[in-house]
C-alpha cells in the first residue's frame, strides 16, 4: 500500500499567507506574475503598457491616503497598541518604503464565521429555554448513572464489575471493588449524596483490607482507576483545600491514607525492575512485582502513571512517588523514536522499546496523552524543567500528521491509521475506538484548556496549535461518524477506513442513510462496544474549547443510543456484542469506566462550562480530575 500525502501538506489550509497582510505592491506584482497579463506582456502593445502604467499610478495615489486598517495590522503584528494608527501619514517616501517592506506576520485570529458560531448552529440558542433543555438532558445522564449504580449495588457491590444480565459481580481487575472507586468522584460531581455515602462507606470499611490481602493487579489499571479515583475523591471532598462537593463520607485524609498504602505497594513495580521501566504487575499482599509472561510492558502503561504519582507526592509531601514515575518519562525521552512516535512495547529488562508496531490505539494511546497532561500539571511548579515533555508531545503530533493521518474515500473522513510493521512498512487504515481520545488531547494541547476564543484574543495560539485544533475537529467528526454509521448508533471497538488502497465490501455499519456508510468498514470480530468513553471525552473537551454546540448535540445522540440499546431493566448497562445488528446482543458486562468516564464526560458536556474548568484541572486517563497546582 502506498502512503498518501501527509495530512499537514495535503489538507490543512492554515497557510500563513491567510493571516498575513499582503502589501499592495505584492498584490500588484503577484497579479502580474500569475494572470493572463504576464503571458500577454511578452507581446504587449504600447496601449496595454500604458494601461499598466495607469494602474500602477492609481495604486500610488491610493497609498497617499490614510489606511487605518493597515496601521492597525502593523500594531498587532508588533504586539503593541499604539496611537500611530490614527496619525495622518503624509510622507510619500515612507509609503514607498512600505511598498517594499516584507509583510508582517500576524497572530492567528478568529474568522467572522467562527466568532458567531454559537449563535447560528441550531438557530435556537438565543431562545431562553436552550440552557434549560441542556439541564434536562444533563438530568437524564444523572438518572442513567443512578440506574447503573443501583444495578451494581444490588448485584455486585464490592466486586470489580457488574454482569448486568446475569445479575452477578465479577472481579476482573484484582478485586479492589474497582467500580466503587471509579464511580465515586462522578457521584460527587453529580451531587448524588446517597451514592457518595454508599461508595465512601464501602471504601472506608473494606478497601484497605482488600489492598492488604489481594494478589496480582495490573500496575496501570490499578493506578488510573483506583489510585486516581481515591486522589480525586480526596480533592473533591475538601482535601488540600480542595472543593467540598461531597456532603457525606469520610474525611479527605482517609482517602489519602488508603491511596498511600496502595501506592507504596505499587512502587515495587518500579523498585524491583532492573531499569527505570516498571514491571507490569504487582502482587499487593507482599509488595512483589513481576513482568508480564512475555517479559514486556506496554508503552502506554508505563507512561500513564505520572499524573497520579505526582499529585500523590504533592499532597503527601513525600517525593518518592513522583520521583519514580518521572524517571520513566525522563528515560523515554532518551530513546530513539520515529518522528516522535514510539513502538507499543517496552522491556523493563533492557529499558528499550520492543518491536516496531506503532499505533495510537491500545498500548500506545495514553503515552501521547500524558506527555501533554503531565506538562500541563507541572509547568507552573518550580520542581524542574519539564519543557521536554511539551517538545516530545509536539514532535509526536507532527509525526502523527506526517505518518499516520489519511482521508477515507469517497467522503473524506480524516482518520489515524497504524504502522503494524514499523515506519518503513505499510499504513493500515485501522482505527481503534481508543484513538478517539486524541482529538480531545490535541485540543487541550492547543489552547491549554482555555477556550479557543480566549486563547486567540490573548494571542496564545501558534499556527501549529491551530493546525492541531483543526485536526482535533476533523477527528472528532470521524469518531462521531463511527457511531452514526451503525444500525444502533453506537461505535464498534475497531473501524477500518476505505481508501484507494484498501476496500472490503459487505462490511458496513448497517445505517444505509449515513453519508459515510461506504467509508467505514467494520469487520465481524470488531463489532462489539464496551461502553467506552473516548469519543464523548473528546466531545466534552472540544465543546469546552470551541463552544460549538454541535458537539453537545452529537453527545446527546450517542447518549440516546446507549439508553436505547445498552440499558438493562433490572439495573446497570451492558456492553454489546454487535453494534450493527438491531437489537444488539448484550455482552453482559458493565465496565467500570462507564461510570467513571463515559457518564461523567456526558454530564459535564451538557452542564455549565465553569464546572471543572480545563485550565484548572487535568483529567487522568480514567477521567479523574486532579487540580493543577501552581508554584
Ligand atoms: C480506560 O480505562 C482509560 O481511558 C484508558 O486510558 C483506556 N481504556 C479505558 C477506556 O476505554
pLDDT score at 243: 74
- Ligand 1 probe mutation, 302, 492, 622, 624, most atoms within 8 A of CB: 622
CA 623 / ligand 1 centre spacing (Å) = 9
pLDDT score at 327: 98
Q: Which of 100-114, 372-386, 475-489 is predicted with the least confidence, judged by mean pLDDT?
A: 100-114
The answer to whether 534 is a known catalytic residue is: yes
**pLDDT top residue among 10 and 477:** 477
CA 222 / ligand 1 centre spacing (Å) = 12
The reply to whether ligand 1 has any atom less than 6 angstroms from the CB of 533 is yes
pLDDT score at 52: 54
The reply to whether ligand 1 has any atom less than 6 angstroms from the CB of 398 is no
Catalytic residue among 534, 578, 597, 622: 534
CA 181 / ligand 1 centre spacing (Å) = 15
The reply to whether ligand 1 has any atom less than 6 angstroms from the CB of 432 is no
CA 538 / ligand 1 centre spacing (Å) = 13
- In this structure, the residue with its CA closest to atom 3 of ligand 1 is 622
Catalytic residue among 185, 221, 281, 467: 221
pLDDT score at 248: 65
Q: Taking residues 276-284, what's their average pLDDT? A: 98
CA 78 / ligand 1 centre spacing (Å) = 44
pLDDT at 103 over 80: no
The reply to whether ligand 1 has any atom less than 6 angstroms from the CB of 370 is no
Please report, rounded to a whole number, the percentage of residues in the chain having pLDDT higher than 70: 79
Question: What residues pair up with 218 in beta bridges, in sequence order?
Answer: 281
pLDDT score at 110: 56
Rounded to an integer, what distance in angstroms lies between the CA atom of residue 347 and that of residue 305?
A: 17
With beta carbons less than 8 A apart as the criterion, state whether 223 and 303 touch. Answer: no
Q: Taking residues 433-450, what's their average pLDDT? A: 98
pLDDT score at 451: 98
- Is 34 annotated for ligand binding? no
The answer to whether 221 is a known catalytic residue is: yes
Report the 3 state secondary structure along 438-473. Answer: HHHHHHHHHHCCCCHHHHHHCCCCCHHHHHHHHHHH
pLDDT score at 125: 46
- How many other C-beta atoms can be found within 10 angstroms of the C-beta atom of residue 317? 6
The reply to whether ligand 1 has any atom less than 6 angstroms from the CB of 452 is no
At 107, the pLDDT band (50, 70, 90 cuts) reads low
Rounded to an integer, what distance in angstroms lies between the CA atom of residue 170 and that of residue 207?
A: 16
What is the CATH topology of the domain spanning 139-627? Glycosyltransferase (1.50.10)
The reply to whether ligand 1 has any atom less than 6 angstroms from the CB of 621 is yes
- Ligand 1 probe mutation, 299, 301, 367, 434, most atoms within 8 A of CB: 434
The reply to whether ligand 1 has any atom less than 6 angstroms from the CB of 147 is no
Instruction: Give this prediction's pTM.
Output: 0.82
pLDDT at 122 over 70: no
pLDDT score at 2: 33
Please report, rounded to a whole number, the percentage of residues in the chain having pLDDT higher than 90: 76
Atom of ligand 1 nearest to the CA of 300: 6
The reply to whether ligand 1 has any atom less than 6 angstroms from the CB of 622 is yes
* Rg for the chain, CA atoms, rounded: 28
| Closest to 401 (Cα-Cα) out of 344, 465, 471 | 471
Q: What average pLDDT is seen over the chain?
A: 85
- Which three-class secondary structure state does DSSP give residue 87? coil
The answer to whether 412 is a known catalytic residue is: no
Rounded to an integer, what distance in angstroms lies between the CA atom of residue 441 and that of residue 254?
A: 32
pLDDT at 117 over 50: no
Residue bearing cell 444495578: 151
Answer positive or negative: Cα dihedral of 492, 498, 504, 508. positive
Amino acid at each position: 500500500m502506498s502512503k498518501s500525502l501527509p495530512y499537514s501538506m495535503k489538507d490543512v489550509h492554515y497557510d500563513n499567507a491567510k493571516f498575513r497582510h499582503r502589501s499592495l505592491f505584492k498584490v500588484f506584482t503577484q497579479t502580474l506574475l500569475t494572470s493572463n497579463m504576464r503571458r500577454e506582456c511578452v507581446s504587449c502593445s504600447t496601449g496595454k503598457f500604458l494601461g499598466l502604467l495607469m494602474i500602477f499610478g492609481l495604486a500610488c495615489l491610493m497609498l497617499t491616503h490614510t489606511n487605518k486598517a493597515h496601521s492597525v495590522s502593523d500594531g498587532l503584528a508588533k504586539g503593541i497598541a499604539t496611537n500611530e494608527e490614527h496619525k495622518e501619514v503624509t510622507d510619500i517616501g515612507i509609503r514607498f518604503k512600505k511598498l517594499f517592506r516584507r509583510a508582517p506576520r500576524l497572530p492567528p485570529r478568529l474568522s467572522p464565521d467562527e466568532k458567531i458560531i454559537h449563535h447560528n448552529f441550531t438557530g435556537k440558542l438565543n431562545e431562553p429555554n436552550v440552557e434549560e433543555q441542556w439541564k434536562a438532558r444533563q438530568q437524564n445522564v444523572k438518572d442513567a448513572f443512578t440506574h447503573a449504580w443501583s444495578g451494581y449495588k444490588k448485584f455486585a457491590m464490592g466486586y470489580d464489575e457488574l454482569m448486568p444480565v446475569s445479575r452477578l459481580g465479577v472481579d476482573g481487575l484484582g478485586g479492589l471493588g474497582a467500580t466503587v472507586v471509579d464511580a465515586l468522584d462522578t457521584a460527587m460531581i453529580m451531587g448524588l449524596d446517597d451514592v457518595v455515602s454508599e461508595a465512601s462507606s464501602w471504601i472506608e470499611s473494606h478497601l484497605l483490607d482488600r489492598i492488604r490481602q489481594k494478589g496480582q493487579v495490573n500496575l496501570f489499571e490499578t493506578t488510573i482507576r483506583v489510585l486516581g479515583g481515591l486522589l480525586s475523591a480526596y480533592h473533591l471532598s475538601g482535601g488540600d483545600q480542595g472543593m467540598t462537593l461531597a456532603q457525606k463520607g469520610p474525611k479527605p485524609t482517609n482517602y489519602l491514607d488508603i491511596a498511600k498504602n496502595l501506592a507504596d505497594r505499587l512502587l515495587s513495580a518500579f523498585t524491583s525492575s532492573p531499569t527505570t521501566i516498571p514491571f507490569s504487575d504487582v502482587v499487593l499482599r507482599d509488595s512483589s512485582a513481576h513482568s508480564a509472561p512475555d517479559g514486556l510492558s506496554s508503552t502506554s502503561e508505563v507512561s500513564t502513571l505520572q499524573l497520579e504519582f505526582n499529585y500523590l507526592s504533592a499532597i503527601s509531601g513525600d517525593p518518592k512517588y513522583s520521583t519514580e514515575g518521572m524517571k520513566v518519562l525522563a528515560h523515554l525521552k532518551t530513546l530513539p523514536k520515529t518522528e516522535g512516535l514510539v513502538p507499543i512495547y517496552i522491556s523493563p529488562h533492557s529499558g528499550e522499546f520492543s518491536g516496531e508496531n506503532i499505533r495510537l490505539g491500545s498500548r500506545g494511546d495514553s503515552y501521547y496523552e500524558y506527555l501533554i497532561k503531565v506538562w500541563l500539571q507541572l509547568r507552573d511548579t518550580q520542581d524542574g524543567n519539564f519543557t521536554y515533555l511539551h517538545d516530545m508531545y509536539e514532535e509526536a503530533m507532527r509525526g502523527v500528521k506526517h505518518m499516520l493521518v489519511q482521508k477515507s474515500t469517497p467522503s473524506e473522513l480524516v482518520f489515524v491509521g497504524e504502522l503494524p510493521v514499523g515506519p518503513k512498512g505499510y499504513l493500515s487504515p485501522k482505527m481503534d475506538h481508543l484513538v478517539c481520545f486524541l482529538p480531545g488531547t490535541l485540543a487541550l494541547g492547543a489552547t491549554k484548556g482555555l477556550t479557543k476564543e480566549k486563547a486567540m484574543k490573548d494571542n496564545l495560539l501558534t499556527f501549529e496549535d491551530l493546525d492541531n485544533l483543526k485536526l482535533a475537529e476533523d477527528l472528532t467528526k470521524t469518531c462521531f461518524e463511527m457511531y452514526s454509521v451503525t444500525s444502533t448508533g453506537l461505535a464498534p471497538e475497531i473501524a477500518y477506513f476505505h481508501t484507494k488502497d484498501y476496500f472490503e465490501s459487505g462490511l458496513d455499519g448497517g445505517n444505509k442513510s449515513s453519508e459515510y456508510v461506504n467509508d467505514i468498514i467494520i469487520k465481524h470480530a470488531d463489532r462489539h462496544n464496551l461502553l467506552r468513553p473516548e469519543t464523548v471525552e473528546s466531545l466534552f473537551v472540544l465543546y469546552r474549547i470551541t463552544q460549538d454546540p454541535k458537539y453537545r448535540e452529537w453527545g446527546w445522540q450517542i447518549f440516546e443510543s446507549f439508553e436505547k440499546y445498552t440499558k438493562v431493566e433490572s439495573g446497570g448497562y451492558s456492553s454489546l456484542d454487535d453494534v450493527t445488528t438491531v437489537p444488539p446482543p448484550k455482552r453482559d458486562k458493565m465496565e467500570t469506566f462507564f461510570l467513571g468516564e463515559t457518564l461523567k464526560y456526558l454530564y459535564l458536556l451538557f452542564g455549565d462550562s465553569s464546572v471543572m474548568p480545563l485550565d484548572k484541572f487535568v483529567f487522568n486517563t480514567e477521567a479523574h480530575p486532579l487540580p493543577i497546582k501552581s508554584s
